[in-house]
Chain A
Amino acid sequence: MKINHHPGPESLLSCSAGSMPGAFAAVMAAHISLCPCCRKDLGMLDQVGTALFDALEPTTVTRPAPIIGLRADEAGPDELALLESARGDVPAPLAAVIGNSLDSIAWRRVGPGVWQHQIELAESNRGELRLIKVAAGQALPEHGHNGSEITLVLRGSYRDATGEYRAGDVADLCDENEHSPIADPVEGCICLIATDGRLKFKSRIARMVQPLIGL
């Protein structure tokens, strides 16, 4: 998989710090599982976290080491199976929330040539996480963002003023960005999107239908 578009360093940093809102962290984890280059960067950033962690003044621990809770048979690898990378076109970290295949997603039509699947996360997770499927050649109305939006292409591709985004690519946008993506004329596009603010459509018509289609 040739990846051309990566998340911004500020997103990787926040991800390494564990301070990213849940929906965004999901998109980041999915991309990272596909992208050796971002995994390497994350490794470096984890060292930044380690340096800051290392410099914390220790606080006295009042209870002893929980030796009594240890069981010898627990030591050792227990999650190696989870570490396999992508199955089909579902990145490994997502399999637990959307299953193993993009072909068995329950889509809801939200407009002409556009379907979505809201991914239910526990309420405490900040941000909205959804899959969007766009028909071949379909354009989304030009829109900006009230907050941040991060998109990972899972299948097919789309194009906007900033370039072409294929499977594995990430578009990491914030409030000043406006774009009008068009899905690949043959394959269409399936994306994973995290948002923390509603999309702002430029045209009045699009703004009127927005509440109806749930975007």
Chain B
Amino acid sequence: MIPHSATARPYGRARSSSGPIAMADFLQRIAERGDVEAFRKLFQAYAPRVKSYMMRQGADPNTAEELAQETLLTVWRKAGLYSGEKGSATTWIFTIARNLRIDRLRRELSWVPLPDGHDEEPSADALPDELLSEQERKVRVQAALASLPADQYEVVSLSYVEGLSHSEIAERLGLPLGTVKSRMRLAYHKIRESVEDLR
């Protein structure tokens, strides 16, 4: 257990060197023509972070690597379900990794489906201004997250990065369950406020 790591905020580093639009393009190439080169690029961009994610969720390095491989294989198989309107390629890959973690590390059913765009009205590919507002939303969410008070940031990070439930967080931090929930609610409202005008 790394009790203090949850409050570290390693932001502000651009990670995907090829950019979000290139990543979405790779997904589309996989969906349309099973493009192996596009897959290789996505693998290089994402597998190392999926491996880190699985390790933070409690997997040993070997298992984490297997789960990273499996996450990317799922990306290959489901690329046709990706819709740029529903979020960035990174968001979509994050949700695949998350569901795989629930399934394999928790051995529970992963109930919440991947974002799929099926309740949006049918439209052509994401328009440039949609991609722009998607990018804007991402920047705002990051900024809102980075400006949260430490106690709120901590419960959010423990949820996402370490995969702890409300009561597990309460236990870890020695807090009443109600306090954990109210910190999360406060964090949610601040983040939501920051993107309110883009909704």
Residues of A within 8 A of B (CB): 8-10, 12-22, 25-26, 28-30, 32-33, 36, 39-63, 65-67, 69-70, 72-80, 82-83, 85, 93, 121-122, 124-126, 147-148, 174-176, 196
Contacts and interface: CB of A to CB of B under 8 A. Distances in A.
Interface in B26-82: 30-31, 34, 36, 39-40, 43-44, 47-49, 51-53, 55-56, 61, 64-65, 68-69, 72-73, 76-81
A69 B43 CA distance: 13
B141 A44 contact: yes
Contact of B181 (A10, A20, A21, A58): A10
Interface in B118-134: 118-119
B102 A56 contact: no
10 contacts: A9-B184, A26-B111, A28-B112, A44-B141, A44-B192, A48-B141, A67-B39, A75-B31, A76-B79, A83-B116
A51 B102 contact: no
Contacts of B81: 77, 79-80
B164 interface: yes
Interface residues of B, number: 89
B10 A55 contact: yes
A20 B106 CA distance: 10
Which of B15, B61, B91, B102 has the largest count of A CB atoms less than 10 A from its CB? B91
Interface of A, secondary structure class, is helix
Interface of B, secondary structure class, is helix
B68 to A, nearest CB: 6
Contact of B87 (A21, A47, A77, A85): A47
